[in-house]
């Protein structure tokens, strides 16, 4: 895969997650108050497209433009992102409105849209970031692969991809071999690839939603599971990989033989070694459960060269910031998260969005909070 070139930072940065001895302790991230909620209508029509499946959100701090990516796979249209305006009052913090301002199709290297679900080379967009250091967009593509339940699906490579603001392909980050999708029980599982994406001046970071085959079974009510967080330098070269310990399921499915799905749906940088992580579960008969964690890579084992985790490792540390299931239940399918504008009070704004799965039983919801301890 082509590595991304032309970023503002021209030289590689050696991977390190150890803070200097002189570094002052950083304030923990804390949610201080609720600022409001806005929703987009079910199957909303905009500029010839059907809106839904919002799986990622980010903001250009210089222009105030917001970017929303849809995980629609030609159910209603091609892979695409929307631009939007979110009305957040900098004095009071009140979140009073959201409106779409544009839509752009993501295209491949040959200039054509990505094929739809079940076709070779299809895309599954799950996260988007505006990279202010290069003026480009980065987006996470979960890809697709066959498994026992979907034996006829063709392989579609996952990756972290770059696009210009017109949606044109600009290259891919170099993918570590242990994260390449395969047609056998090796590497990432289906629907357990890149879901979270973060960008800073020095690093690009992506999180897989769940464990690889070699790393163990998905979470159950009895045990958690390891997901991998990969860090690239600004040239798109992987420099480190760390284990995020997923929680055990918070409840058993109903009935006990029912289905469940658990993993990290988004990450957001605080600095070069700390992130917020949305850890989300769907449990049959229970619905969604979502917790917001602050994680720290400091002191974690770099497992980039480990094809499995049998040699042992030290995972990233995690601290619960907020159980979002305690806030206006039932919690939605939260998959999108971004920093918003800083308020006059000095607080940051944190916007968390949901993927409605194009279902009448779910909603496209955007909730804003005031936060301290932010970047």
CATH of the domain at 243: 2.115.10
Choose among 242, 220, 206: nearest CA to 17. 242
Q: What is the pLDDT of residue 25?
A: 61
Whether residue 255 is preceded by a cis peptide bond, meaning omega within 30 degrees of 0, is yes
In a domain, 68, yes or no: yes
Domain-located, residue 101: yes
Residues 210, 190: Cα–Cα separation, whole Å: 10
pTM of the model: 0.93
Half-sphere exposure of 196 (CA within 13 A, CB side): 28
Q: What are phi and psi of 315, to 5 degrees?
A: -75, 170
pLDDT for the residue 211:
98
3 is a domain residue: no
Long-range contacts of 174-178 (CB under 8 A, 24+ apart): 174/1, 174/3, 174/232, 174/236, 174/237, 174/238, 175/1, 175/238, 176/230, 176/238, 176/241, 176/304, 178/212, 178/214, 178/228, 178/241, 178/304, 178/306, 178/307
Enumerate residue ranges in the chain where pLDDT < 50.
1-24
The SS3 assignment for 214 reads: helix
DSSP structure string for 114-160:
PP-TTSTT---EEEEEEETTTTEEEEEE--B--BTTBTTPPPB--EE
Domain that holds residue 221: 30-372
In a domain, 24, yes or no: no
pLDDT, tens digit, 9 for 90 and up, residues 168-211: 999 999 999 999 999 999 999 999 999 999 999 999 999 999 99
Q: What pLDDT was estimated at residue 81?
A: 98
Helix (H) or strand (E) holding 254: none
Cis preceding linkage at 184, omega within 30: no
Residue 225 falls inside a structural domain: yes
In a domain, 135, yes or no: yes
What pLDDT shows up at residue 327?
Answer: 84
Q: What are 99's strand-pairing partners?
A: 85
Give the sign of the dihedral formed by CA 142, CA 315, CA 271, CA 15. negative
40 inside domain: yes
What is the number of domains present in the chain? 1
Q: Is residue 358 part of a domain?
A: yes
- Determine how many CB atoms are found less than 10 A away from the CB of residue 334: 23
pLDDT tens sequence across 102-115: 999 999 999 999 99
Q: What is the DSSP letter of 212?
A: B
- pLDDT (tens digit per residue) in 1-20: 333 333 333 333 334 444 43
């Amino acid at each position: 895969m082509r590595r991304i070139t032309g970023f503002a930072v021209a030289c590689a940065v050696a991977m390190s997650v150890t803070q200097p001895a002189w570094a002052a302790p950083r304030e923990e991230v804390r949610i201080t108050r609720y600022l409001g909620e806005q929703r987009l209508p079910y199957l909303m029509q905009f500029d010839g497209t059907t809106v839904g499946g919002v799986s990622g959100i980010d903001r250009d701090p210089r222009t105030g433009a917001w970017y929303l990516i849809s995980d629609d796979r030609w159910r209603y249209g091609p892979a695409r992102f929307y631009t939007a305006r979110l009305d957040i009052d900098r004095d009071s913090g009140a979140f009073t409105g959201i409106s779409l301002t544009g839509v752009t199709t993501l295209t491949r290297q040959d200039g054509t849209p990505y094929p739809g679900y079940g076709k070779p080379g299809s895309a599954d967009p799950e996260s988007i970031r505006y990279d202010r250091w290069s003026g480009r967009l980065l987006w996470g593509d979960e890809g697709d692969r066959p498994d026992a339940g979907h034996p006829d699906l063709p392989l579609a490579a996952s990756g972290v991809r770059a696009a210009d603001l017109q949606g044109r392909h600009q290259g891919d980050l170099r993918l570590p071999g242990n994260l390449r999708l395969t047609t056998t029980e090796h590497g990432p599982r289906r629907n357990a690839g890149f879901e979270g994406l973060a960008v800073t001046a020095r690093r690009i970071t992506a999180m897989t939603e769940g464990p690889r085959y070699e790393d163990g079974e998905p979470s159950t009510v009895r045990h958690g599971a390891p997901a991998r967080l990969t860090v690239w330098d600004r040239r798109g070269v992987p420099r480190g990989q760390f284990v995020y310990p997923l929680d055990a399921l918070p409840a058993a499915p109903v009935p006990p033989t029912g289905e469940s799905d658990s993993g990290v749906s988004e990450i957001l940088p605080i600095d070069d070694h700390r992130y917020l992580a949305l850890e989300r579960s769907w449990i049959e008969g229970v619905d969604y459960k979502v917790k917001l964690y602050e994680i720290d890579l400091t002191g974690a084992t770099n497992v980039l060269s480990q094809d499995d985790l049998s040699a042992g490792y030290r995972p990233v540390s995690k601290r619960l910031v907020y159980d979002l299931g305690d806030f206006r239940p039932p919690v939605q399918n939260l998959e999108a998260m971004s920093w918003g504008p800083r308020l006059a009070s000095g607080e940051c704004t944190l916007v968390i969005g949901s993927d409605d799965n194009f279902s009448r039983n779910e909603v496209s919801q955007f909730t804003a909070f005031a936060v301290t301890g932010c970047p």
